[in-house]
Amino acid sequence: MSKEFDVVVIGAGPGGYIAAIRAAQLGKSVACIEKWKNPAGALKLGGTCLNVGCIPSKALLASSEEFENAQHHLADHGINVSDVKLDLTKMLSRKEGIVEKMTKGIEFLFRKNKITWLKGHGKFTGKTDAGVQIEVSGGEGADGTSSEVVTAKNVIIATGSKARHLPNVPVDNKIVSDNEGALSFDTVPKKLAVIGAGVVGLELGSVWRRLGAEVTVLEALPEFLGAADQALAREAAKQFKKQGLDIHVGVKVGEVTATDNSVTLNYTDKDGNAQTLEADRLIVSIGRVPNTDNLGLEAIGLKADERGFIDVDDHCATAVPNVYAIGDVVRGPMLAHKAEDEGVLVAEIIDGQKPHIDYNCIPWVIYTEPEIAWVGKTEQQLKAEGREVKTGQFPFMANGRALGINKADGFVKMIADAKTDELLGVHIISANASDLIAEAVVAMEFKAASEDIGRICHPHPSLSEVMREAALAVDKRALNM
């Protein structure tokens, strides 16, 4: 007789482990299936985000920023240092230590909440009156083929995504890397090529540029950061160019040839001219695809679409009763915090509650320097909708705290309805934009007006004062400009 659970979650990334914890908090018997193994072969929780995504990349971004500050910016504070050396091995070890601490933390939370970790690959095998049948295989058996079948009254598919690769360009994560290999280069490449100027390309390109690489970024789309507000994208392009990132848009990549120690890219630039780029390493960051292969979806009457996504309704329910899907395998942005919110939503729906997610209030963040963050709609989106808006913008160069910490680049831009003053979008490029955006998310969730933020007392001196000044600027009454 198979083990039975109220809820079985397939995948222990941010969406999956949070869904499991919330379901357990609500008194359900919960199991979570996860097969991730680190390079040493140890099974780990946390999925892509904690192991080879959000967490290690932010650790390297922080370390590389400290290195660049020591080399170029401490002198601005009257601190003179010389002969700054990079210990890449120690930097990577620090990153791995943070990952290990975080994954161990999830193991503790599973024990605390009495969640059963089923170690292996989860695959649907059918349905019975008792629930959905799932086979868990390839776990910790001595021969690697151990398996068991469990029964779930409710299932949450949270299997995440993997890097999209270029056809006919093998990724060995040495010379040609995706996000995983790009987090673990054993040396700093002299010349680094990056295909894709999205979040991953910009963040990892920034890491290795700071550590000494000459970085060239090739982007197929005709506009840089086309999803962001145009004012934000223009400022970001200016800042990255000043830093030394060589970004080319409107590029069509042709043949890519890799050897044991270099890579050559042939491409056509935006003007139609043939170009050749030679580099020591290549990072391919052209998006991600859902992990929905080999799930056995057909065994329960489900199937993924041509892109690998599972169709769900507004409450993440699939076409099969009591089977849900969240995070990167469903519509919407591939963001860890979006997956977490959906995990909580589904756990509470299973419990009979009526939660809701406003997807317009999901923030976006790019952890470059300066950081880029936004929530709501861009000015170009609103104009395309025919919406009458008013905007306010305020620069960090007029903020005492920003000047004090030597982080005065960037601005906050707020967009409000021209008649009602309801906030429709907030766009930030600055130091700590990932933290500042949270105030905007709260405001938009509560349907605040720009005047509401303008009337709230903000601490002085702080970066958050720029939020207030931008809100006041919507009505052309900024106080410090």
Angle between helix axes 465-474 and 433-445 (nearest 10 degrees) is 50
Say if residue 459 is exposed, middle or buried (CB neighbours under 10 Å; 0-12, 13-18, 19+): exposed
Residue 429: C-alpha distances to residues 107, 250, 407, 414, 440 (Å) = 36, 24, 11, 12, 14
Residues with Cβ within 8 Å of 83's Cβ and at least 6 positions away in sequence, in order, are none
Taking the C-alpha atoms of residue 454 and residue 325, their distance in angstroms, rounded to an integer, is 40
Q: What end-to-end distance do the CA atoms of the chain give, in Å? A: 72
Q: In this structure, what token pair is assigned to residue 329?
A: 């395998």
SS3 call for 449: strand
Task: Examine the residue annotation and report whether 460 is marked as an active-site residue of this protein.
Answer: yes
Residue 86: C-alpha distances to residues 208, 211, 218, 234, 397 (Å) = 12, 8, 27, 32, 31
Query: Beta partners for 253?
Result: 267
Q: In this structure, what token pair is assigned to residue 392?
A: 């306010």
- In one-letter notation, the amino acid at residue 69 is N
Taking the C-alpha atoms of residue 474 and residue 394, their distance in angstroms, rounded to an integer, is 10
Q: What is the DSSP letter of 452?
A: H
321: phi > 0 → left, psi -120 to 50 → alpha, else beta; which? beta
* Number of other residues whose CB lies within 10 A of the CB of residue 174: 14
Token pair 């650790």 in the structure block, residue:
59
Q: Point out the catalytic residue in the list 72, 73, 77, 460.
A: 460
Residue 191: C-alpha distances to residues 58, 175, 204, 279 (Å) = 22, 12, 14, 5
Indicate which residues carry an active-site annotation. 460
